[in-house]
C-alpha cells in the first residue's frame, strides 16, 4: 500500500473519530429529561391518562401512572411516594382533581422538582377536599355525588357525563361512568400537613367549563399557590378530552426542571 493511500485512510479514520467524539459530547451535554408521575383523581383510575401518556412517551419522557386506591389520603400518598421512589432522577408530579391533594402532600418528597395541577384541588395546610367544597359560591354547579354507602362515594351515572365529561366522546364518558372507582369518605376528609407548593414551583391548568370544581375556585387556588397558569376550554375531564394541552403544560414544567439541572 502506498504512503498516499495510508495517509488518506488515516485522515478518514481521524475525521470519523472527531465526528463520533463530537456526537458523544453533544449527547453528554443534552439536558436529562425528568420523570413524569401522573396521579388520577376521585371516581376514576389511571387509564384516563392514556392520551397524555402517549404524547409524553413519544417525546422521550419516562412516564409512570399511579393507581391509587382512593381509600384515604394517607394510603394514596404512600402509593404515590412509592412511584416517586422508583424514578431515577427528578420528578414532575402531576395531579388531577383529588389527585391535586395527593401531590400537594406527596410533593414534599425530595425527588419532586415541581408540581402540575390539572383542574385540581391545591389545598393549603390543614385543608381537605371536604373543607374546600363546604361553602360553594352561589350558583356553583353541584356535583352529583350520591349518599355514602359503606363508607364510599359514587357519582350518579345518569349525570356523570354532563358533570364530569361533557366534552368527552359519549361512549368514553359512558364507560367512565360505568367503571367508577368508589371514593372513600376518609379520602374526602384527608387534610394536608404541609403543602409542597410552598417550597416547589407549580403549574396549573384551569378547565374553563368545569362543572365539578368551579373555575373561579381553580383560579383562586392556583393564585394562592403562585402557580404558572394556563386556561383552556374543557370539562373536568380535560385530561381525557384535550391531552395535547395537558401534555404541553407538563412539558413546560419539565423544561424548567431540565434547565435547572444544568
pLDDT at 258: 67
Residue 48 counted as domain residue: yes
The residue count of the chain comes to: 262
Identify the CA nearest to 234 among candidates 173, 178, 164: 164
- DSSP readout, 80-98? HHHHHHT-SS-EEEEEETT
The residue with greater pLDDT, 137 or 215, is: 215
15 part of a folded domain: no
**Domain hosting residue 173, numbered range:** 33-261
Residue 47 pLDDT more than 60?
Answer: yes
Per-residue pLDDT averaged across 59-85, rounded? Answer: 97
Residue 5, pLDDT above cutoff 60:
no
Residue with cell 504512503: 3
pLDDT for residue 13 is more than 50 = no
Give the separation between CA 154 and CA 169, rounded to whole angstroms: 21
Q: Is there a contact between 84 and 103 (Cβ–Cβ < 8 Å)?
A: no
Residue-wise pLDDT tens digits, 159-195 = 999 999 999 999 999 999 999 999 999 999 999 999 9
pTM above 0.85, yes or no: yes
Please give the tally of structural domains in the chain.
1
Q: How many CB atoms lie within 10 A of CB 175?
A: 13
**Residue 43 within any structural domain of the chain:** yes
Cell numbers describing residue 161: 357525563
pLDDT tens digits for 100-145? 999 999 999 999 999 999 999 999 999 999 999 988 878 888 899 9
The CATH number given to whatever domain includes residue 250 is 3.40.50.1820
Phi and psi at 239, nearest 5°, equal -70, -20
Amino acid at each position: 500500500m502506498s504512503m498516499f493511500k495510508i495517509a488518506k485512510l488515516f485522515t478518514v479514520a481521524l475525521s470519523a473519530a472527531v465526528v463520533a467524539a463530537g456526537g458523544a459530547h453533544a449527547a453528554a451535554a443534552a439536558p436529562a429529561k425528568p420523570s413524569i408521575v401522573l396521579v388520577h383523581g376521585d371516581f376514576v383510575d389511571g387509564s384516563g391518562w392514556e392520551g397524555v401518556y402517549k404524547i409524553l412517551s413519544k417525546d422521550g419522557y419516562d412516564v409512570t401512572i399511579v393507581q391509587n386506591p382512593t381509600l384515604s389520603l394517607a394510603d394514596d400518598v404512600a402509593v404515590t411516594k412509592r412511584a416517586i421512589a422508583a424514578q431515577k432522577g427528578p420528578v414532575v408530579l402531576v395531579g388531577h382533581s383529588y389527585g391535586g391533594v395527593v401531590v400537594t402532600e406527596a410533593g414534599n418528597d425530595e425527588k419532586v422538582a415541581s408540581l402540575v395541577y390539572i383542574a385540581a384541588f391545591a389545598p393549603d395546610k390543614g385543608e381537605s377536599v371536604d373543607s374546600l367544597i363546604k361553602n360553594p359560591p352561589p350558583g356553583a354547579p353541584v356535583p352529583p355525588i350520591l349518599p355514602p354507602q359503606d363508607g364510599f362515594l359514587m357519582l350518579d351515572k345518569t349525570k356523570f357525563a354532563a358533570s364530569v365529561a361533557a366534552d368527552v366522546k359519549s361512549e368514553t364518558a359512558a364507560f367512565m361512568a360505568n367503571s367508577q372507582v368508589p371514593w372513600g369518605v376518609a379520602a374526602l376528609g384527608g387534610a394536608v400537613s404541609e403543602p409542597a407548593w410552598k417550597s416547589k414551583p407549580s403549574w396549573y391548568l384551569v378547565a374553563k367549563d368545569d362543572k365539578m370544581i368551579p373555575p373561579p375556585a381553580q383560579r383562586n387556588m392556583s393564585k394562592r399557590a403562585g402557580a404558572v397558569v394556563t386556561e383552556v376550554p374543557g370539562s373536568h375531564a380535560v385530561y381525557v378530552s384535550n391531552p395535547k394541552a395537558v401534555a404541553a403544560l407538563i412539558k413546560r414544567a419539565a423544561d424548567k426542571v431540565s434547565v435547572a439541572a444544568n
